[in-house]
Amino acid sequence: KAGVTQTPRYLIKTRGQQVTLSCSPISGHRSVSWYQQTPGQGLQFLFEYFSETQRNKGNFPGRFSGRQFSNSRSEMNVSTLELGDSALYLCASSQGLGNSPLHFGNGTRLTVT
């Protein structure tokens, strides 16, 4: 089975721009979660989608949004980028039960200048 695929691997954007990150989950997985990883804050939960519906949301501003398509692929969008949004964004898929382990992609490294 192919793993979780995230594109692109690297992005450089300017403050004020917007960005869209993409995630293709493991085949058969209906849940996709997004995490932000920074040296200072560690891994922080952004949101989770299950069957095209946002099921859980972390404590991030509304500039961070996402969606999930009928094939379970997911996109995350960040608008009006700030310098502090520079981070590794990790996508994880799972079968969607509370005890289902997360399977992570290799992440998208976003740098905001």
Partner 1 sequence: AQSVTQPDIHITVSEGASLELRCNYSYGATPYLFWYVQSPGQGLQLLLKYFSGDTLVQGIKGFEAEFKRSQSSFNLRKPSVHWSDAAEYFCAVGAGSYGQNFVFGPGTRLSVLP
Question: Does the footprint of partner 1 cover residue 104 (CB under 8 A)?
Answer: yes
Among 77, 100, 111, 113, binds partner 1 (CB under 8 A): 100
Place of tokens 């990790």: 90
Least separation in angstroms between CB 48 and partner 1: 5
Residue 3's alpha-carbon distances to 15, 38, 58, 59, 84, in angstroms, are 32, 23, 25, 28, 29
DSSP 51-73: TTEEEEE-S--TTEEEEE-TTS-
Q: Is 24 helix (H, G, I), strand (E, B) or coil?
A: strand
Among 7, 51, 56, 80, binds partner 1 (CB under 8 A): 56
Residue 8-27 contact track with partner 1, rule CB under 8 A, x = bound: --------------------
- Report the interface residues with partner 1, using CB under 8 A: 4, 6, 31, 33, 35, 42-43, 45, 48, 50, 55-56, 58, 90, 92, 94, 96-107
